[in-house]
Amino acid sequence: MTRTELFERQQAYRRTLGKAVPFFFFPMITFFGTISYHGIHIGRGSYWPEVAAFVALAALLAATAIVAPRLKDRQLRKMGLVCPSCGEALVNTTGQIAAVTGRCGNCGHRVTEPG
Ligand SMILES: [Zn+2]
């Protein structure tokens, strides 16, 4: 892979991350929407919508905390954005160093073809 290809893969990866954002915001909006709607009606019945919303959000956050890093690692490997020597993801600071120098920002292993 050349430095240009690395840079393009990093951009494609960032676009992929952008697509995942609604999946994190939708449950939050639903949760706070439920809380605020039923907050107006406090003292007029049961609290089950708040409890149900809280339990659902907690379960979703726990599932996200377990699944999201695995999906991220899989996506990075699929896109070839992992150092073959140390396994560090070639994104963020490590990726910027790799895009500029052609070497892994973590271990210094050459990750792009010279030139
Ligand atoms: Zn490395």
* Cβ atoms of residues 82 and 100 within 8 Å: no
11 domain-assigned: yes
Neighbours of 80 (CB within 10 A): 13
96 domain-assigned: yes
Neighbours of 19 (CB within 10 A): 8
113 domain-assigned: no
| Model confidence, pTM | 0.69
68 domain-assigned: yes
Q: Can you give the pLDDT at residue 90?
A: 95
112 domain-assigned: no
106 domain-assigned: no
Ligand 1: distance of its center to the CA of 88 in Å? 6
16 domain-assigned: yes
Q: What is the domain extent for residue 39?
A: 3-101
Q: How many domains are contained in the chain?
A: 1
**Mean pLDDT of each 10-residue bin along the chain, 115 residues long:** 93 88 75 71 68 82 86 92 95 93 95 85
What is the per-residue burial (b if ≥16 Cβ within 10 Å, else e) of 38-73? beeeeeeeeeeebeebeeebeebeeeeeeeeeeebe
d(CA 17, CA 40): 36
50 domain-assigned: yes
Question: Which residue type occupies 33?
Answer: G
Ligand 1: distance of its center to the CA of 77 in Å? 14
